[in-house]
Amino acid sequence: MDLNKSIKKAKRKQVAMISCVSIISFLVMSGILVFLLDKVATHNYRALDQSLSVYQTIASPNTQIDSQVIASSSILGGEVVTNQSKNIDGYTVLWGSLRSKYNVLGSDIDYNELLPSWYHSEKNSYEYNRQTKQKVATFYDPAIENYYDGVKNELANLSNMDDFLAEVAISFDRPYLFSEVKKMFPDNINVVWLYLFSENRDESKGPSGMPVYGFQLSVDGKNQIVDAESDKDSFFSAFETYAAPMSNQEMADFIQDNQNKNVDDIEVLGAMVTGQVKNLVELKDKSFVRGSSIGVTVPRVPYIVPEK
């Protein structure tokens, strides 16, 4: 009788021990799993953050990231909201927001929101921002002869807008060295972004949707260019990261041919400029202008002074 009680007691202890070990093992394994999932999600968030930064550096003419925050997150992933703006000669203008997701499987940027949409009718044809619905300034590659609607020169259309400020994409008739570009524009116009490269595609049937690549020029408090050499280096570093997984020979050749050049020896295909409309109009008869495309325009107000 005592032996049976001892056996039952031993069995109860064994069951209790196994249960405790199982619970502890479960908790430890759950903790390890949560830790690993969080590490993977964090890694993918950092990769997403880098991808957003890289694209901003190389393919966002006159566009700045005002803020980039995690709107929601868990151990499995989250959503990143990127708020963007444009600087039109000292006037800050909304340029939409971008929602990107990351999780334990990877990350996802909505490139559909990054690229412009196209409006076309019998009277109008232009690209526009999908969120703000504002017109996007279009660049023309000097190496591409035929565009669907021809190469437009819209600078003349600014003539009756003296009380406005604007950004305009100036496409050159041929590539110019940056050392030449610095002498092309008068001091009362801001040269804010340089167009260096785009993939060569057939544009005769409509916009191909290919991004244009280049870089923003850093300026000081007096709106003077600070260090174009450093801006160029940052561009090529980011562009190399962006192009690496694509195995794109056209991009690879461009990087190899140009990344070690001094910025003054880099060939520029066009420039985004901003300023008061009355100053921008003066560019319409310049020989180096093959095409010009108006982007964001904003009315002048008495309480914000234009930079130039």
Residue 10 lies in a domain: no
Q: What is the mean pLDDT of the chain?
A: 87
Residue 121 banded pLDDT, cuts 50, 70, 90: confident
| Confidence at residue 6, expressed as pLDDT on a 0 to 100 scale | 61
Residue 16 lies in a domain: no
Split into its structural domains, the chain has a count of 1
| Confidence at residue 15, expressed as pLDDT on a 0 to 100 scale | 62
Residue 182 lies in a domain: yes
Counting residues of the chain whose pLDDT is more than 90, the rounded percentage is: 49
pLDDT over 70 (residue 258): yes
For 178-181, the CB contacts below 8 A with 24+ separation are 178/228, 178/263, 178/264, 178/265, 178/266, 178/268, 179/264, 179/265, 181/268, 181/271
Residue 247 banded pLDDT, cuts 50, 70, 90: confident
pLDDT over 80 (residue 284): yes
DSSP letter at 69?
Answer: E
Dihedral over Cα of 267, 208, 275, 52: its sign: negative
Give the CA distances from residue 295 to residues 45, 96, 108, 298, 308, in Å, rounded to whole numbers and listed in that order: 32, 14, 28, 10, 18
pLDDT one-digit tens code per residue, 87-102: 999 999 999 888 888 8
| Confidence at residue 11, expressed as pLDDT on a 0 to 100 scale | 65
Q: What is the 3-state secondary structure (H, E, C) of 4-33?
A: HHHHHHHHHHHHHHHHHHHHHHHHHHHHHH
Residue 91 lies in a domain: no
Residue 27 lies in a domain: no
Nearest to 273 by CA among 247, 252, 291, 294: 294
pLDDT over 60 (residue 109): yes
| Confidence at residue 21, expressed as pLDDT on a 0 to 100 scale | 67
Residue 62 lies in a domain: no
Residue 204 lies in a domain: yes
Residue 21 lies in a domain: no
| Confidence at residue 87, expressed as pLDDT on a 0 to 100 scale | 94
| Confidence at residue 67, expressed as pLDDT on a 0 to 100 scale | 87
pLDDT over 90 (residue 273): yes
Domain that holds residue 173: 117-299
pLDDT one-digit tens code per residue, 132-156: 899 999 999 999 999 988 899 999 8
Here the tokens at position 81 are 């909201």
